[in-house]
Amino acid sequence: MSLNYRELKRRYDLDGVDRTVEHLSESLREGHLQPEDFSLRDLAESLIPDGRHWVRMLDPRSSGHVSVMEAGEGVDVSAFLNITGQVIYSKILESYNQEAFVVSKLVQHIPTRLDGEKIPGVSKIADDIDVIEPGMPYPNLGFGEDYIETPATSKRGFIVPVTKEAIFFDRTNLVLSRAAEVGEVLGLNKEKRLVDLVVGQTNNYKSNGQAHNTYLTSGLWVNELAGNELVDWVNVDAAEQLFAEMSDPVTGEPILVHGTTVLVMPAYRHAAHRVFNAAEITYSGAGASTATTAANPLGNYRVQESRIAYRQIVAGGEAAADAKKWWFLGDFRKAFAYMENWPITVTQAPVNSEADFNNDIVLRFKASERGAAAVLNPRYVVKSTG
């Protein structure tokens, strides 16, 4: 798409920075514009007063070239900075949220201002609900003494620099490539931390001061089933039967678990789609002389596959032949969360900084995120192995 820089400048002058950046953000988000449609040099020449002269003054080949501090003195570069920042942010976000990061989209994201939380449980009153007589007070449903603790959050980030040469020689693709790399590295790091938690490589579930493994084969709950390779609906039923045995640790009442998603390894992608998306199933009991055909009852599940999950399981020491048979079923949003102090955020360094004088870096954009992967309640997901 050919961008009309004169029209962009006119809109910026008429609408102001907020509305222009908002409009560009929407266009980039909806795909009407791509970050690659922009040129750093063209943006500078169009949005900075006497922009062509400003760009020529950055010429590193000229013996008379000056620093950006001198070139920008008394010159309004805010439009150039704001729009360039939005383009780079869009490229970082695009790579950070790419489709390969499956697990990041399965869990819920909980905003928090704390570096690790103690989350109280709601007091359960089970079936001890008495009839309320006329004029009598209603009982309170408050917070009980049971609680879970989430791990401390951690911060990760990188800086994307924009040099004089990048503007003058219009090396926009190089800057966008660095921005995409930053977004991908941050997104991949977050995905791996969440994957390790979901598959049980990392265990940070802590309830009432006591640490537990996410998946147990006996004890307080049972949510791991060995020898349950995903072949047909019978294996799904076996996993669902574990949910039927789940009970609330305080009241002993059944936990109302409704599985929504199944996560499989790449080797079982087609097998999973066959099992969950078949139009009908046929069942023959042992020694039965007839077969029963019925509509497939598993159509409400979403099937997701993760190459990253498979690689993390193998990296954790599991044999590849066994790792490919692992699969998980349940409600991931209720079982796991990413405790997020702040999502992926891009901030811009002030202009006329020491980096310009020392390194010929005109602009710097810092991308960062802070959070931690946490287990909220392991009873909502069942792990099956082959």
- DSSP state at residue 254: B
Q: What is the mean pLDDT of residues 12-19?
A: 84
Residue 96 lies in a domain: no
Number of domains in the chain: 1
Residue 138 lies in a domain: no
Q: What is the pLDDT of residues 203-230, one digit of tens each?
A: 999 998 999 999 999 999 999 999 999 9
Residue 340 lies in a domain: no
The amino acid sitting at 289 is S
**What backbone torsions phi and psi does residue 14 show, to the nearest 5 degrees?**
-80, -45
Residue 144 lies in a domain: no
Residue 327 lies in a domain: yes
Residue 311 lies in a domain: yes
User: Which residues make Cβ contacts (< 8 Å) with residue 199, sequence separation at least 6?
Assistant: 309, 312, 313, 316, 326, 328, 383
User: By residue range, what is the domain housing residue 312?
Assistant: 224-335
Q: What is the pLDDT of residues 155-209, one digit of tens each?
A: 999 999 998 889 888 899 999 999 999 999 999 999 999 999 999 999 999 998 9
Residue 326 lies in a domain: yes
* Average per-residue pLDDT for the chain: 87
pLDDT category at 383 given cuts 50, 70, 90 is very high
> Distance between CA 364 and CA 96 in Å, rounded?
19
> Distance between CA 236 and CA 283 in Å, rounded?
14
Helical (H) or strand (E) element with 369: strand 361-375
Whether 141 shows a pLDDT value over 90: the answer reads no
Nearest to 177 by CA among 51, 119, 92: 92
Q: What is the pLDDT of residues 246-298, one digit of tens each?
A: 887 767 777 777 788 999 999 999 999 999 988 888 777 766 777 888 788 78
Residue 244 lies in a domain: yes
Q: What is the pLDDT of residues 298-357, one digit of tens each?
A: 878 999 999 999 999 999 999 999 999 999 999 999 999 999 999 999 998 877 667 766
User: Which residues make Cβ contacts (< 8 Å) with residue 231, sequence separation at least 6?
Assistant: 271, 275
> Distance between CA 298 and CA 230 in Å, rounded?
13
